[in-house]
Amino acid sequence: MRKKLFKSESKRLLDLMINSIYTNKDIFLREIISNASDALDKLHYISLTDEAAREKCSSPEIHITFNSNERTITVSDNGIGMTAAELEENLGTIARSGSLKFKEEMDKKDRTENDIIGQFGVGFYSAFMVAKDLTVISRSYKDDTAHIWKSQGADGYTIEECEKELVGTDIIMHLKDDTDTENYSEYLSEYKLRSLIKTYSDYIRHPIKLPTEKHREVGEGDDKKTEAYTEIETVNSMVPIWQRSKSEVSNEECFKFYKEHFYDFNDPVSVIRINADGLVSYKAMLFIPSKTPYDYYTKEYSKGLALYQSGVMIMENCEDLLPDYLRFVKGVVDTNDLSLNISREILQQSHELKTIASNIEKKVRTELKRLLDKDLEKYLTFWSAFGLQLKYGVVSDYGSHKDNISDLLLFYSQKEQKLITLKSYLENMAEGQEKILYSCADSLSSAQSTPAAQLAKDKGFDVLCLTDEVDEFVMKTLMTYGEKAIISVKDENSGLISEDDKKAAEEKAKESSEVLAFITESLGGAVTETTLKNGLKDFAASLGTTGPITLEMEKYFAQMPGEDHPKAQRVLELNPDSTAFKAIEACYKGDPEKATKYAKLLYGTALLTAGLTLDDPFEFSKLITSLI
Ligand code: ADP
């Protein structure tokens, strides 16, 4: 029999399939199963109007079997089948746009780009990734004879008549031999096939049946033994849980689905169901987890939602469906409104995808707000897992998401001694208070005991105590909330020190300019200047800054990799009423050596109260001892 050549397009595609190294060979089964499912649908559709077809229609099923000795996997369906002409037309050429698009994209791409294949309807030819030859036995509903199509890859195919009792198609894949790097034999196992069906084809509408090895006890008494037997089992769930109506599926069922599919032991805090029928129709089931995944802040964690079309998973993690600040959200989106025979790059541009993504973003935010207002306990669970993520969301992308996130933030209130929202801070602001105040430190207790936080407390002003490294950036990015400025208690514009007091300190500083310059000098460059400040309460000294970098920012930058981190310009702030300052003032002319020691001592205490480490703890200890 004469071998026919593939049309040139097909030949090129086959070359690509066979010669390129794909990591995701697994998807061949998904493609063959999807074709079988389409064939079942087609026969069903035709039988609605065609009497003859109806007679040929039996209960639609897809059967998968394997034979380890012959190294074959067979996928059989009782669908529409193909005539000889159709075998020629469908399998001898790239008739369908899906495969053609794929080929065009592959031509543009570097051949090592290996994840692209998972995102296409690459179809029948993908079987050549695992098979050295393919046999298709098919009988069309409109034909009394069956035909066998055979091909060993790029060099062509043959078609002959053959026997087949029932209408439908068998695809027989004869697997390639194993190599040092590729283990094709792994597909010859019930376990592997089952897991591929579960992963990629779980929601195909028709039953996918697989012979399954089982065990049962036979015999009585001493003759009791276990025997193995085979049962044909339906592997796929068929109806996706997200396709079923809300009233039909309990939260518990959704949670079970979440735990099984997203490998989490814990119930999520929430499930969000979307059934959108607007510009773009889609269904989605989204989950807000309750615990931070162990790899959440590493490169291993991949954000994204699973994307399905007609029950077939076409992308495991579609990143473009979620903004970064919601990267903890898990779930699935199912739509028929996307043209999926397109590459990832084109998908990103897709208007439909953007519409879905923007809807999802809104729905998740609304759900978080609902939890915050109606189920605080759950929100606090969420917050402890992903609050930090929301804070990073505020500062990322130049603050472009801040207005979407600010109402979801929680901070520890000095007055309430618990986490509160900015809104609640605003509603409970004391009379005469103009600004939202915060105090940053390494711990809640340090944040509350700084002189400035104490001063605020005396005035009856609440202070938000911040301990995460990113907090100060969050506040600086937010800048305002509800038209009130957000400002550090340490900032000279915090409003905590009256203008009169400030002026008095300035006057006094002018008078004392000589001693202040002496102190700056004796600290040998550790501070840019020394000033006097009212409002330091019982403290003789505190550490302030001048310029855009604060001490908290300096700490934050210091943890980043690399050297030459930006440094704050430090200012030693002295309490003009303190005995310590008066002591330096009294002795710096007569006993400059002693005054220098006092200055260093004061600087050291200022460092410690600011939560910083001493430059030289040994020298500091000696200094104290020498002064006792
Ligand atoms: P696509 O599925 O994108 O159309 P394929 O290469 O997978 O491309 O398949 C080509 C064509 O072969 C299908 O469109 C269909 O007409 C036919 N075909 C493939 N598998 C079967 C099958 N099991 N039963 C009937 N027709 C099939």
Query: Does any ligand 1 atom lie closer than 6 A to the CB of residue 604?
Result: no
Q: What is the mean pLDDT of residues 447-468?
A: 93
Residue 251 pLDDT exceeds 80: yes
Quick one: tokens of 470?
Answer: 């990113």
Distance 82 CA to ligand 1 centre (A): 9
pLDDT score of 628: 83
- pLDDT level of residue 238 (50, 70, 90 thresholds): confident
Give the pLDDT band (50/70/90) at residue 112: very low
Question: Going by CA atoms, what residue is nearest to atom 8 of ligand 1?
Answer: 123
What is the position in ligand 1's atom list of the atom closest to the CA of 94?
6
- State in Å: Cα 123 to ligand 1 middle: 7
**pLDDT given for residue 339 in this prediction:** 60
Q: Which ranges constitute the DSSP H helices of 20-93? A: 27-47, 51-56, 84-91
Residue 347 has pLDDT above 80, yes or no: no
Q: How confident is the model at residue 434 (pLDDT cuts 50, 70, 90)?
A: very high
pLDDT at 209 over 90: yes
- Cβ of residue 124 lying under 6 Å from some atom of ligand 1: yes
Distance CA 323, CA 300 (A): 18
Q: Tell me: pLDDT of 281 over 60.
A: yes
Instruction: Answer yes or no: is pLDDT of 204 > 60.
Output: yes
Q: Are 175 and 132 in contact (CB under 8 A)?
A: yes
Q: Which residue would you say has higher pLDDT here, 278 or 112?
A: 278
- Whether 169 lines ligand 1, by a CB cut-off of 6 Å, is yes
The better pLDDT of the pair 181, 423 is held by 423
Res. 346: pLDDT tops 70: no
Inter-CA distances, 306 with 83, 155, 278, 541, Å: 37, 37, 21, 57
Q: For residue 461, is pLDDT > 90?
A: yes
**What is the mean predicted confidence (pLDDT) over 335-349?**
61
Name the residue at shortest CA distance from atom 13 of ligand 1.
Answer: 90
Residue whose CA is at the smallest distance from ligand 1 atom 22: 36
Percent of the chain with pLDDT over 90: 57
> What separation in Å is there between the alpha carbon of 86 and the centre of ligand 1?
10
Least confident of 19-33, 181-195, 601-615: 19-33
Ligand 1 atom with minimal separation from the 80 CA: 25
H-assigned helices in 61-115? 84-91, 97-108
Does residue 306 have its Cβ closer than 6 Å to ligand 1?
no
Q: Is the CB of 10 under 6 A from ligand 1?
A: no
Task: Give the number of residues written for the chain.
Answer: 628
Indicate if ligand 1 lies below 6 Å from the C-beta of 121. yes
Q: Whose CA is nearest to atom 15 of ligand 1?
A: 90
What six digits make up the tokens of 181? 């790097």
Whether 535 lines ligand 1, by a CB cut-off of 6 Å, is: no
Whose alpha carbon is nearest atom 20 of ligand 1? 35
90: CA distance to ligand 1 center in Å?
A: 6
Distance 161 CA to ligand 1 centre (A): 19
461 lines ligand 1 (CB under 6 A): no
pLDDT at residue 42, as a whole number: 85
What is the predicted pLDDT for the residue at 444?
A: 94
- Complete domains list, the chain, with CATH: 10-215 (3.30.565.10), 241-384 (3.30.230.80), 410-488 (3.40.50.11260), 499-627 (1.20.120.790)
Q: What is the DSSP string of 120-177?
A: S--GGGGGGGTEEEEEEEEE-TT-SSEEEEEE-STT-EEEEEE--SSSEEEEEEEEPP
Residue-wise pLDDT for 480-539, tens only, equals: 999 999 999 988 889 898 888 888 888 998 999 999 999 999 999 899 999 998 888 888
Determine the angle formed by the axes of helices 592-609 and 617-627, rounding to 10 degrees.
130
As a whole number, mean pLDDT of residues 52-68 equals: 90
pLDDT tens digit string along 311-331?
677 777 899 999 999 999 999
Instruction: Establish whether residue 448 lines the binding site of ligand 1, counting it when its CB lies within 6 angstroms of any ligand atom.
Output: no
The confidence band for 93, taking pLDDT boundaries of 50, 70 and 90, is low
pLDDT above 70 coverage of the chain, percent: 90
Tens of pLDDT, residue by residue over 541-579, are 999 888 888 888 888 788 788 888 888 899 999 999 999
**Ligand 1 atom nearest to 98, measured from its CA:** 3
pLDDT in tens, 8-21: 666 666 666 555 54
Position 606 pLDDT exceeds 60: yes
Question: What is the 64 CA–ligand 1 centroid distance (Å)?
Answer: 17
* Nearest in space to 427 (alpha carbons), one of 407, 448, 450, 441: 407
What pLDDT is attached to residue 104? 57
Task: State the helix-helix crossing angle for 376-395 and 471-478, rounded to 10 degrees.
Answer: 80
CA of 614 to the centre of ligand 1 (A): 74
pLDDT at 604 over 60: yes
Tell how far CA 28 is from the center of its chain.
27
Exposed/middle/buried for residue 560 (C-beta within 10 Å: 0-12, 13-18, 19+): exposed
- Ligand 1, residue 34: give the atom nearest the CA: 2
Taking residues 337-349, what's their average pLDDT?
Answer: 58
pLDDT over 60 (residue 95): no
Predicted local confidence at residue 14, as pLDDT: 64
pLDDT band at 2 (very low <50, low <70, confident <90, very high): low
Residues 348-358 have a mean pLDDT of 84
Check pocket membership of 82 for ligand 1, CB cut-off 6 A.
Answer: yes
pLDDT of amino acid 483 = 93
Better pLDDT: 278 or 39: 39
